[in-house]
Structure 1
């Protein structure tokens, strides 16, 4: 069984390092607090090992962290050691993608920009199956079906109760017009987008039309995840054929946050976006 989620451990470790520095303490000081070797603290801060709840409480107390922030970080640490439903699909999911699903499941907000495809959280089953059929060229029919099952299961985060995940998707107009699976599949998918935007108040949808021209995200698509306050932690996921990669440094996260704000300003407002989606569906 793989060690999951490594990304969440790195995220927690980086925050612990920042809090230690803010408190003016060294690695040796932190080691004395836990009565351990300096190397253990270093491995915790780099995400190479987890820590017991009692150890986390002791460190955060000595670092002068307030109660609300201690609770948020304790939850992050608890999630780092929790086995998720997605681990039953290790045979078809790359490790970075498993990490992504685990982070998605506990995120407070997700901002997604997709240029050519509908984001996974908004896909219909038939649209997802068409993607799997086209892209999973080495996998068997059963593996492709399991991939679709994972994608459908992921969508539970959109209506899993309070507090609801705040999901914001900006779609390039090409994502509406790329006929994935044929006309019937695509028309169903477009109607699904309209329904989700209308039925789920935590789902916001905008379309970036062709006539915008050059825009802030010409470098490519990305997903930005942030976690429950008051941690103020965020991470950027970049998808790829080999499983994806993460940007965890605050400067990289903040750069993508700024890019997303520019995309919001360039894209059509929600109601105008829905009208364009309905127009494209009629034209199919």
Structure 2
């Protein structure tokens, strides 16, 4: 597979957007900010548009010009400037992972918590290798067998965020009952091991799982998969929606709020955590014929 450096544009965009916001709040123009730092205005513009880099050591002084002195914010942005120059592990897969997917993995790696509503499929962070291969084969319509194997590797590698030693990702998944009852004719025992793995994941203190029963009233989960990513200060929550061609992010606060409310309604429609575990166990032990 291809192995080359791809610019981590998501982190740069988040850094640039935040610096632009602080500049606007300070009422400073590009020219004024550049003059204060001894830079050309084009440099400030490129940093804000994720087309240029800013040295981590310059982040604090620039924020000071904008009147931002909160140590938590300065530290967070400085670290992001450092991380924006690094190559994520997923970049080694080259074009196997599409740009949108690389963006998703980068955002997932940086998030402090993720809430996902997935009515018809198990979340990628819960998928065993066997289950992932079946799902990717069925949905990645133009992929070669070699690319499918690489995508399975990527999906498994992503799951490290749940058990990383420093601040493991807080993960709240609301899963449709239909996803639990999925069957693979050629691999009748696959789902038993997959559901057992889901139960194991629910034992993690940072993981919450709820099941939406098939008998529940209509609710926003009917629309499809969506994921809310929450980050440390000062970055706002973003939402990702998915379809057969991939996913796309929305950052507008009004749009994100709609999905925040939708997730809340879905959790109300779902079973409690304890009842969800019992449901998963029952389906695993007594699969439908």
C-alpha contact 1:33 1:58 (8 A) present in aligned 2: no
Alignment partner of 1:183: what SS? coil
Query: C-alpha distance in 2, partners of 1:81/1:240?
Result: 30
Corresponding residue for 1:6? Answer: 9
Residue 105 in structure 1 maps to residue 109 in structure 2: yes
Query: C-alpha distance in 1, partners of 2:80/2:258?
Result: 24
Which of 26, 31, 55 is matched with 2:29 structurally?
Answer: 26
After TM superposition, the structure 1 = structure 2 runs for residues 41-120 of structure 1, keeping only pairs within 5 Å, are 41-65=44-68, 66-120=70-124
Query: C-alpha distance in 2, partners of 1:179/1:40?
Result: 55
Which runs of 5 or more residues in structure 1 are unaligned? Answer: none
Which of 192, 201, 204 is matched with 1:196 structurally?
Answer: 201
C-alpha contact 1:4 1:99 (8 A) present in aligned 2: no
* 1:64-122 Cα deviation digits (max 9, x unpaired): 22111110111222222210111111131101101211221221111111111101100
Alignment partner of 1:189: what SS? helix
C-alpha contact 1:95 1:243 (8 A) present in aligned 2: no
Residue 273 in structure 1 maps to residue 273 in structure 2: no
Cα 1:39–1:212 shift into 2, 3 Å:
farther
Residue 282 in structure 1 maps to residue 288 in structure 2: no
Which of 184, 189, 194 is matched with 2:189 structurally?
Answer: 184
Which of 263, 267, 283 is matched with 2:266 structurally?
Answer: 263
Residue 244 in structure 1 maps to residue 247 in structure 2: yes
Residue 163 in structure 1 maps to residue 147 in structure 2: no
Alignment partner of 2:96: what SS? coil
Residue 223 in structure 1 maps to residue 212 in structure 2: no
Q: Count matched residues.
A: 282
The two structures have a TM-score, normalised by structure 1, of 0.92
C-alpha contact 2:34 2:44 (8 A) present in aligned 1: yes
Corresponding residue for 2:153? Answer: 149
Corresponding residue for 1:125? Answer: 129
* 1:118-154 Cα deviation digits (max 9, x unpaired): 0110001110111122223332222211111111111
RMSD: 1.9
The two structures have a TM-score, normalised by structure 2, of 0.90
Structure 1 residue 3: deviation in Å? 4.2
C-alpha contact 2:216 2:269 (8 A) present in aligned 1: yes
Shifted more, 53-62 versus 145-154: the winner is: 53-62
Which runs of 5 or more residues in structure 2 are unaligned? Answer: none
